[in-house]
Structure 1
Amino acid sequence: MTNKIIAGVKIPDSTIANQATELLREHGSELLYNHSLRTFLFASLNGRQNKIKYDPELLYVSAAFHDLGLTPHYRSEDKRFEVDGANAARDFLMSHGIPPQTLQLVWDAIALHTSPGIAEYKEAEVALLNYGVALDVVGKGYDKLSENNREEILMQFPRHDFKKHIIPTFFDGFKHKPHTTYGSINADICACMMPDYQRKDFCDLIRESPWES
């Protein structure tokens, strides 16, 4: 992907970025690869439009890893998939000698990418990743994306019935641990895909706590 520029955004070509791409290709699917690259491009365009200073390499690695927690190689038995992806990215960057503060930044970006109302108020890379994901998955900010940019990005990283396939892809990543979706938007996926799924109710948890009053 050397010196590739799409919609005016340069795809990072560092050793770290290229290795992250290789891991995404190896352990992800075509759907997750295209989604992750679109997410990076959408996030980068938003950063440029709003004159936000950010580290392209860190944003790229965050985008590459943000859904890898759904995959068999990285997913755990007991953690939210976002945490699995964040842990994987942290381990990857740690192997390259990246300092702790930067590791935490990337960890937060991935762990919070499905947390609307929180991520957008954190550091640039965290907020931008959340923006890019939301634009690609639910179309948030679609009207701010020019038709030319949209067409150029989709030509390189097509959606291929993304709406049809992304919900089952999400579900496959955590159907073995639906309890981890409590308190997150992923509980909606379980409710959609599991006819007998019973969500935990926060009010019930309060009423049923061991406290006497």
Structure 2
Amino acid sequence: MLKNINEVRVPDSKIIKDAQDIVREYGNEIIWNHSNRVFLFGEVKGVQDNLTYDKELLYITALFHDLGLTEKYSSDDLRFEVDGANAVRQFLSTYNYEKGDLQLAWDSIALHTTLGVAEHKENNVALLYHGVGMDVMGDNWNQYSDEIRKAIVNKFPRGNFKHDVIESFYNGFKHKPETTFGNIKSDVIKYFEPEYPQNNFCSCILRSKWDS
């Protein structure tokens, strides 16, 4: 288990700086800090699990994964995950990325909220998903040392993230509520078993092990 955040390499290149500039310009402090924490948690898991993946692509997709919630990149009729995925594909296509990498980046963002699927995809897709899960709901909490968790939060503070992220979600897609219809299978169980305790995303966030 890693205990020193300095063992984690953050990619540094022109395309990384350009991606960072986009997030700083069109995102906000919540998205900036969250996206960087997501990368670091994903990267730590990748290193600890000795996985092979594209670190630069992981960081770029982490930076872009919530841009679909912003005014600049939000469409009128697509899921916010798809808006973010389209944004990263357009961005990467100007840097001569190969078709396979463009698809990998698109899948990473498009599936980052898709439980039960993303973790079984390619390592880049799975690591972005796990990074998001850790930062939002404390998934795989015990895989991260106290030192790593504290160092990441000190570098990219959470503030009042639990409540702020829920509000950010709402503000990001309240104009297109029809796009929030997700995994319909639990509705089938609820239909036949009215007392079924259906999970609630907001409750998962608020009850996570994170203090804020």
Instruction: Using structure 2 for the length normalisation, give the TM-score.
Output: 0.84
**Is 1:94 equivalent to 2:97 in the alignment?**
no
1:4-153 equivalences under 5 Å are: 6-153=5-152
* Paired position in structure 2 for 1:165: 164
- Stretches of 4+ moved more than 2 A in 1? none
Note the C-alpha offset of 1:202. 6.6
- Count of matched residue pairs: 185
* Paired position in structure 1 for 2:198: none
The structure whose Rg is larger is 1
CA distance in 2, matches of 1:6, 1:17: 20
1:183-212, Cα deviation, whole Å (9 max, x unpaired): 259xxxxxxxxxxxxxxx679xxxxxxxxx
1:56-107, Cα deviation, whole Å (9 max, x unpaired): 1000011000000000000000000000000000000001111111100000
CA distance in 1, matches of 2:45, 2:181: 30
Which secondary structure does the structure 1 equivalent of 2:108 belong to? Answer: helix
Which secondary structure does the structure 2 equivalent of 1:114 belong to? Answer: coil
Note the C-alpha offset of 1:6. 3.9
CA distance in 1, matches of 2:90, 2:126: 22
**1:40–1:63 contact (8 Å) kept in structure 2:** yes
Unaligned stretches of 5+ residues in structure 1: 186-200, 204-213
CA distance in 2, matches of 1:152, 1:94: 34
CA distance in 1, matches of 2:147, 2:40: 13
Letter in 1 for 2:22: L
* Paired position in structure 2 for 1:178: 177
CA distance in 2, matches of 1:184, 1:82: 14
**1:7–1:152 contact (8 Å) kept in structure 2:** no
CA distance in 2, matches of 1:122, 1:86: 16
CA distance in 2, matches of 1:183, 1:73: 24
Between the two structures, name the one with larger relative contact order (CA 8 Å, sep ≥ 6): 2
Which secondary structure does the structure 2 equivalent of 1:11 belong to? Answer: coil
Instruction: Using structure 1 for the length normalisation, give the TM-score.
Output: 0.83
Note the C-alpha offset of 1:139. 0.4
CA RMSD of aligned residues (A): 1.8
CA distance in 2, matches of 1:33, 1:61: 12
Unaligned stretches of 5+ residues in structure 2: 190-212
Identity of aligned residues (%): 51
**1:7–1:149 contact (8 Å) kept in structure 2:** no
Which secondary structure does the structure 1 equivalent of 2:92 belong to? Answer: helix
Which secondary structure does the structure 2 equivalent of 1:10 belong to? Answer: coil
CA distance in 1, matches of 2:116, 2:90: 27
CA distance in 2, matches of 1:40, 1:53: 15
